[in-house]
Amino acid sequence: MNIAFIDLAQQQARIRNKIDAGLTAVLNHGAYIMGPEVSALESRLGKWTKAVHNISCSSGTDALLLALHGLELQPGQGVIVPSFTFAASAEVMPIMGAIPIFAEVETDSFNLDPNKLEAVLAAGQAANIDVVGIIGVGLFGQPANYDAIRTFANAHDLWLIDDAAQSFGAQWQGRPVGQLADVTCTSFFPAKPLGAYGDGGAVFTDDDKIADIIRSCRIHGMGKDKYENIRIGMTGRLDSMQAVVLDAKLDIFEEELALRQAVADRYQTLIGDIVEAPRLAAGATSSWAQYCIKLPKASDRDHVIKHLGASGVPTAIYYPVPMHQQPPYKEFPQSQCGLGVTVDLCRRVLALPMHPYLDEAQQQHIAAELRNAL
């Protein structure tokens, strides 16, 4: 049995006709960038996020950069961010001349630990850094605990970004991603729960001023037109062809989220007794971008990966090295409570195949081979 880690082909077969027709329409009208499909997509995204401003852009990384422009982050200022995340969450600060301050995560949700925010803020203050905000990440699809993080942020006058590159479509206490932070960013990288066939992303906010700056920065800091440049910006626009793909995928997105949840439930039943399967917090839903298990402490992860690979089961490690141990990030401040949970997760996590069309027989094979490997 050869199993796909992420299977985009079955999904494409369902929506291919709509994509073909949409791409033909773009070829005919010729508005390749930010054409009518892009504005239609933005209003459709708003139905999911309930945000006032739904601004498409060129990638999840650019969404984070645009959010930082919108929040007027200044060089030398500090932003709290988990170390257990994809590089982009932290990379955008040094790009802006600012400083990431690495925070600890919870061992079961993989997300920012609200109880350890005091210790990370203290690390920034001890280094004489003006800490202005927090980037929470909805890692693997589940939003962070934004109620507790918001309480902390308000108490310390910090703004809040939700890096929802992996968690678009999820909810926290009945509120959708898009409503959990001052600014929310997502990615439409092809492997994401809502993925395009190229790079893309979006920024969501209810704040008019932030949205104005983001729209301006998306096109080189434009003023009344793109040849009036009133601030330093970037090129951050979305292609019309990517909007066509995303529109077709949105037709089946709700159904796919339910299918992903069913896959996660089946995994829980099949392997919940041999590994620590990912757990959702009470009141949280996940878009299950990844299904990341924690192997028992004493197990040999390389052996498990090799055994599964030889049995037709691809795996991935998200993430093998925490951000605070990556060479360009080593000198940035780290939480005063240490990052022991993060380091332990990097040693033990393993992502199993996850996509809406994974069937029961495939999951039984994965579970049996994982059991054999352990």
Ligand X SMILES: Cc1ncc(COP(=O)(O)O)c(C=O)c1O
Which residues contribute to the site for ligand X (CB under 6 A)?
Answer: 59-61, 85-86, 88-89, 137, 163, 165-166, 187, 189, 199, 201
- Minimum Å distance from CB 188 to ligand X? 7
- Of 113 and 163, CB closest to ligand X: 163
CB of 292 to ligand X, least distance (A): 12
- Name the residue with the smallest CB distance to ligand X: 60
Q: By C-alpha distance, which of 62, 43, 81, 87 is closest to 202?
A: 62
Least distance to ligand X, CB of residue 291, Å: 15
Least separation in angstroms between residue 312's CB and ligand X is 25
Q: Which is nearer to ligand X, 163 or 256 (CB)?
A: 163
Name, in order, each residue with C-beta under 8 angstroms of 67's C-beta and a sequence gap of 6 or more.
Answer: 161, 183, 185, 203, 205, 210, 214
Least distance from ligand X to the Cβ atom of residue 57, Å: 9
State the nearest-atom distance from the C-beta of 167 to ligand X, in Å.
8
Q: Angle, to 10 degrees, between the axis of helix 9-29 and the axis of helix 240-251?
A: 140
Question: Which residue number, 164 or 304, has a Cβ lying nearer to ligand X?
Answer: 164
Mapped onto helix, strand or coil, the DSSP state of residue 229 is strand
Q: How many CB atoms lie within 10 A of CB 347?
A: 12
Task: Find, among 299, 260, 267, 293, the residue nearest to 368 by Cα.
Answer: 267
Residue 89 or residue 240: which is nearer to ligand X going by CB? 89
Residue 62 Cβ, how far from ligand X at the closest point, in Å? 7
The token duo for 42 is: 């933005």
Smaller CB distance to ligand X: residue 242 or 363? 242
Length of the chain: 374
In whole angstroms, give the CA distance from residue 168 to residue 287.
7
Q: How far is Cα 117 from Cα 130, in angstroms, rounded to an integer?
A: 15
With beta carbons less than 8 A apart as the criterion, state whether 341 and 113 touch: yes
CA 25 to chain centre: 31
Compare residues 318 and 357 and give the one whose CB is closer to ligand X: 318
Query: CB of residue 58 vs ligand X: minimum separation in angstroms?
Result: 8
In the complex with ligand X, the residue whose CB is nearer, 168 or 363, is: 168
Cβ proximity to ligand X: between 204 and 270 the closer is 204
Query: Could you tell me the smallest distance in angstroms from the CB atom of residue 374 to ligand X?
Result: 28
User: What is the DSSP track for 147-185?
Assistant: HHHHHHHHHTT-EEEEE-TTTTT-EETTEETTSSSSEEE
Q: Which is nearer to ligand X, 54 or 362 (CB)?
A: 54
- The amino acid present at 49, given as its one-letter code, is T
